[in-house]
Chains A and B, each alone.
Chain A
């Protein structure tokens, strides 16, 4: 087996993993602060992908430009979802939250099926089938752009939480719920804001992902599961953990496909999950509870 084949496959794995990481980042942020596991995560990303496809079909808007209005709409949607639907469930048992978000997910899948049907849809931009060439190494252009968007979005999110006052307030809520309330923070509004920010991550990931895969309503549950695997591997609630988890899953799947059998790829991501759960239950970069 030639070295350039291995390098090409690893690069593709890293680039795809970064987009996976961005997708999982939204899940991780929401859980890290609100302590609610969003079981409709993949379905939300699917909606973002459809929104991008629609904007492309109607206005020929490049997915990376379409991300701006879609992200704005998703922020509003996420904010409203948390403020209107999830906040009343914050103090209820976890199984109630689980059922609520599972119901939301099912409603989303069926709404997509009703509106768009089961057919796969995609965008076709000029650069989608092009590659950058560096000797024998090929970099899929769409994948490079998508991974770049993922890195930028993660950096922006990191900066927001680190340097902005609102970001610090959100972190305070995540660290100490009671303390945040005693300090006079409007926790429920901050929760809604966090869900909105998590939804922005989903929207950007959806915009990037639509360049890599065709979208169907059935994609939602698959990506929800994938996002869970990534955040559990990386550490639930950890932002760098989500990116690391994404890269690890992307690369392990790619290498398993190369060295063992392509049809057994996902077996290895779940194998990795089991290993992490056994050896480091809090995830690679997660904090011990």
Chain B
């Protein structure tokens, strides 16, 4: 049965549409009354599940903290990318269909590249929390923004911190074996390190072998055997979480005790699960990564909210993941407040004008360049000491002295 529209109903509808159209440019109707719907895409299951859940903690506390800070109401629309690029794309599509005003996430370069395409096609702003592949912000996208270092930035800062570490500990390792995951992020890091190593003449070591491996590998026996056979002084590692755990166990099984394990900038070794799975074996691993400023005012506020939501947990185990995820939502909320609109283009323009000086993570204020990239995000040398990620460099932010070589070191 079909229901016909009569003349009166038609006129009322036209009048309504006219009024809405007239008010739309001023953003009067949409701005004040609405919540900002933030589609949060994270790998909460699958091979990156632990890290995704860690990021989610930052998202979960954001609405409360941001309401206090900016008076903005936020509705989170959570989606699990299942550590899959394809799933990330379809979940992003669905979030847009369901009315997300802005997308945030996804802790993975491959997934970020896929979501960026969706965001650009559908004209919805996308604020990347963590993903380092440089090409994501090199495509001329208008709706894609990143508040995280690119692979080359991470590599450059990470390598520089390695030089500082050797100086601080009066050591000069001659050789390194470089192991890296072979996903988008790992490849970006490989390019970054290959580009910067020759220019960093202050570094005393050279890379004697490069070994790539699958981040979803169940067994790294062969990889570790090859690395051990290189007789390198230390292991330069670009990893994820699960593979980092498998790799560390395999090193113990194969009795390979290099001077240390140093990540020039990758997740894994500062994550809570790394400590839980490995216990004392997690000690002395070093990660040179973008980190949070424990003394920042915003950190204290976030930490309070974090402890309220996770009474048995500590922010230090989630600082990077939760911190950057929180800041990504903060960027969206700040833009929404200024734009007074959820109109995607207006929101994107407002994000482009962001200037957040009171922030949680180390580095310069949050400002986007023409490519949608924040510059000047700082890194810290974080070493696992007493089963806690501890800042050991730069000296100004350090809470302990670096230990290198690790006490387990045995020359081959």
Contact residues of A with B, CB < 8 Å?
1-2, 5, 8-9, 12, 16, 113, 117-120, 122, 128-131, 138, 140, 212-214, 216, 218-219, 222, 253-254, 257-258, 261-263, 265-266
Residues of A with C-beta under 8 A to B44: 118
Q: Could you say which of A5, A129, A222 contacts B226, with CB atoms under 8 Å apart?
A: A5
Query: Once bound together, how far apart are the Cα atoms of A118 and B52, in whole Å?
Result: 11
**B225-258 Cβ-contact flags toward A at 8 Å (1 or 0):** 1100100000000000010011001001111000
CB neighbours of B277 from chain A (8 A): 120, 122, 214
The answer to whether A263 touches B225 (Cβ under 8 A) is: no
Contact A262 B212 (CB under 8 A): yes
Q: Is B46 an interface residue (CB 8 A)?
A: yes
23 contacts across the A-B interface (CB closer than 8 A): A2-B229, A5-B226, A12-B221, A12-B222, A12-B225, A16-B219, A118-B44, A120-B50, A120-B242, A122-B277, A129-B253, A138-B255, A140-B253, A213-B218, A216-B47, A218-B47, A261-B212, A262-B212, A262-B222, A262-B226, A263-B212, A263-B213, A266-B214
- Nearest-CB distance from A199 to chain B (Å)? 22
Report the minimal beta-carbon distance from B110 to chain A, rounded to whole angstroms.
15
Which one of A117, A128, A216, A262 contacts B223 once the chains associate, using CB atoms below 8 Å? Answer: A262
**Minimum C-beta distance from B178 to chain A (A):** 13
Do B229 and A1 touch across chains, with their CB atoms under 8 A apart?
yes
Chain A residues with CB under 8 Å of B117's CB are: none
- Return A138 CB to nearest CB of chain B, in Å: 6
Q: Among A120, A131, A222, A263, point to the contact of B255 (Cβ < 8 A).
A: A131
> Interface size on B (CB < 8 Å)?
32
Look across to chain A and name the residue whose beta carbon is closest to the beta carbon of B214: A263
Q: A119-B50, A129-B249, A214-B242 are in contact. Are A265 and B222 (CB under 8 A)?
A: yes
- B219 & A212 in contact (Cβ 8 Å cutoff): yes
Residue B45 CB within 8 A of the other chain: yes
Tell me if B182 is interfacial: C-beta within 8 Å of chain A: yes
A1 to B223, CA, bound (A): 14
Closest Cβ of chain A: how far from B177's Cβ, in Å? 13
Interface residue from B50, B223, B245 paired with A257 (Cβ < 8 Å): B223
Give complex CA distance A214, B216 in Å.
Answer: 11
* Cβ of B217 to closest chain A Cβ, rounded Å: 8
Whether A9 contacts B254 in the complex (CB less than 8 A), given A118-B44, A263-B213, A263-B214, comes out as no
Tell me the bound Cα distance from A119 to B52 in angstroms: 11
Q: How far apart sit A288 and B223, CA to CA, in the bound complex (Å)?
A: 39
Inside 8 A of B182's CB, which chain A residues have their CB?
263
Q: Are A118's CB and B46's CB within 8 A?
A: yes
Interchain CB contact under 8 A, B252 and A129: yes
Chain B residues contacting A266 (CB-CB under 8 Å) are 214
Which residues does chain B contribute within 8 Å of A5, judged by CB atoms? 225-226, 229
Residues of A within 8 A of B246 (CB): 213-214
Separation in Å of the B237 CB from the closest CB of chain A? 14
In the assembled complex, B365 has its CB within 8 A of some CB on chain A? no
Choose one: A9, A118, A216, A261; the contact of B225 (CB below 8 Å). A9
Residues in A neighbouring B49, C-beta threshold 8 A: 118-120, 216
What is the interface of chain B, defined by CB distance below 8 A to chain A? 44-47, 49-50, 182, 211-214, 217-223, 225-226, 229, 242, 245-246, 249, 252-255, 273, 277, 281
Chain A residues whose C-beta falls within 8 Å of the C-beta of B255 in the assembled complex: 131, 138
Establish whether residues B50 and A213, one from each chain, have CB atoms under 8 Å apart when the complex forms: no
B213 near A262 (CB under 8 angstroms)?
Answer: yes
- In addition to A214-B242, A262-B222, A263-B212, 16 A-B residue pairs with Cβ atoms within 8 Å of each other are A16-B221, A118-B45, A118-B49, A119-B49, A120-B49, A129-B281, A131-B255, A138-B255, A140-B221, A140-B253, A213-B218, A214-B245, A257-B222, A257-B226, A258-B226, A261-B212
Taking a contact as CB atoms under 8 Å apart, the answer to whether B219 and A8 are in contact is: no
Which of chain B's residues have a CB closer than 8 A to the CB of A253?
Answer: 222
> A9 CA to B221 CA in the complex, in Å?
7
Top 6 A-B residue pairs of the complex, sorted by shortest distance between their CB atoms: A118-B45, A257-B222, A118-B49, A263-B182, A12-B221, A213-B218
**Which residues on B sit within 8 Å (CB–CB) of A212?**
218-219
Kindly report which residue of chain A lies nearest to residue B220, judged by CB atoms. A262
Contact, CB under 8 Å: A138 / B254: yes
Q: Which residue on chain A has the smallest CB distance to residue B80? A: A118
Most central of B46, B218, B220, B222 by chain A CB within 10 Å: B222
Q: Which chain B residues border A2 with CB–CB below 8 Å? A: 229
User: B254 and A131: CB pair below 8 A?
Assistant: yes
Q: Which residues of A contact B50 (CB under 8 A)?
A: 119-120
Q: A118-B44, A119-B49 are in contact. Are A9 and B253 (CB under 8 A)?
A: no
Residue of B47, B225, B242, B253 near A130 (CB, 8 A) is: B253
- Does the CB pair B253–A131 fall under 8 Å? yes
Most buried by B among A16, A261, A262: A262
Interface-central residue, B213, B221, B242, by most chain A CB under 10 Å: B221
User: A175 to chain B: closest CB distance in Å?
Assistant: 37
| Closest Cβ neighbor of A261 among chain B residues | B212
Q: Which residues of A contact B218 (CB under 8 A)?
A: 212-213, 219, 222
* B242 cross-chain contacts in A, Cβ below 8 A: 120, 214
Residues in A with CB closer than 8 Å to B217 are 262
| CA distance in complex: A261, B225 (Å) | 13
In the complex the two chains form, is B221's CB within 8 Å of A254's CB? yes
Q: Which residue of B lies closest to A209 (CB)?
A: B218
Interchain CA distance A120-B281 in the complex, whole Å = 18
In the complex, the answer to whether B221 meets A213 with C-beta atoms within 8 Å is no
Q: CA A236 – CA B212 in complex, angstroms?
A: 34
Bound-state Cα–Cα, A120 to B246, Å = 12
- Bound: A261/B214 CA distance, A: 10
B254 / chain A contacts, CB cutoff of 8 Å? 8, 131, 138
Q: What separation, in Å, do the CA atoms of A212 and B217 have in the docked complex?
A: 12
Q: Which residues of B contact A216 (CB under 8 A)?
A: 47, 49
B1 to chain A, nearest CB (A): 39
- Tell me the complex Cα distance, A1–B43, Å: 39
Report the minimal beta-carbon distance from B394 to chain A, rounded to whole angstroms.
34
* Least Cβ–Cβ distance between A266 and chain B, in angstroms: 8
- For A122, the chain B residues whose CB sits under 8 A away are 277
Which A residue sits closest to B181, measured CB to CB? A263
Closest to A11 in B: B221
Known pairs A131-B253, A138-B255, A263-B182; A9 contacts B222 (CB<8 A) = yes
The smallest C-beta distance from A135 to any residue of chain B, in angstroms, reads: 13
